[in-house]
Amino acid sequence: MPLRFTKMHGAGNDFVVLDLRGDLPPPDAALCRALADRHTGVGCDQILTVETPQARGALARYRIFNADGSASQQCGNGARCVAAWLVRDGAADGDFVLESPAGLHAVTRAGSGYRIAMGVPDFAPARIPMAGIESAQPLYTLPVEAVGELALGAVSMGNPHALIEVDDVDAADVARIGGALQASPWFPESVNVGFAQVLAPDRIRLRVFERGVGETLACGSGACAAVAVLARRGRITRSVAVALPGGGLQIDWPADDATLSMAGPAAFVFEGELSG
């Protein structure tokens, strides 16, 4: 049967959205790869499924599958796209709650986009997870095969993130360093690797090499992770505009024990059917 889908993006981070409400089965790895292929499929960074919620109080559940077919626990740009999809579908009106593999997320309108409550950043190495490290540190210096020692911060936003501060994000060797860090034993479940340039206390630039995808035009959870790591080190304030290659996000984190929130756009591109 033809598979109906919606193509969307949040700040250039693009998705194929599938309506699986009614307990329809999720896409397998082969279908994810076929959908994500930019030459023979629809083309996307991730596949998002809209499903019947399992948690009390949630309007809908969503899951995230990377372009290589692997599952992801969190996607901030994807959450905004799911929110916009539900509003256009007529299922949502006003504020509501979404359920992701990482937990529950309150959604509110923010101008022409949406604000998503992304939870409290978790710096505990066991929760990220990181291997061979007992206690959280503001900065880790780790030997990584093929690139040497790297100074980085690390945090979980429901998925693992490493953050490297650079002088010029345009000159960062994102693919080489990101790929080496993902393959290293320090991160047994791999890791999303961000490269951040601080422009001002309330402004940064960011590029992210995502696990299972490669470099994307934007990464919502990566922007949250970058602000959390840099704010905890005193490098930036707690209300920060993050400029990514595909667009901008606003991240707010009032205190270490507070929920971090992310606001930004969500756009519809086209609808279609995949047959065969």
| 219 catalytically annotated | yes
169 contact partners, CB below 8 Å, separation of at least 6: 195, 196, 197, 205, 206, 207
CA dihedral of 238, 244, 250, 255, whole degrees rounded to 10:
-20
User: Which residue in the list 32, 44, 81, 219 is annotated as catalytic?
Assistant: 219
User: Which residue in the list 44, 75, 81, 224 is annotated as catalytic?
Assistant: 75
Instruction: Work out the angle between the directed axes of helices 220-232 and 76-89 (0-180°, nearest 10).
Output: 130
| 75 catalytically annotated | yes
| Under 8 Å between Cβ of 165 and 196 | yes
102 contact partners, CB below 8 Å, separation of at least 6: 73, 74, 119, 157, 158, 159
Of 27, 105, 29, nearest to 69 by C-alpha is: 29
Residues involved in catalysis:
75, 219
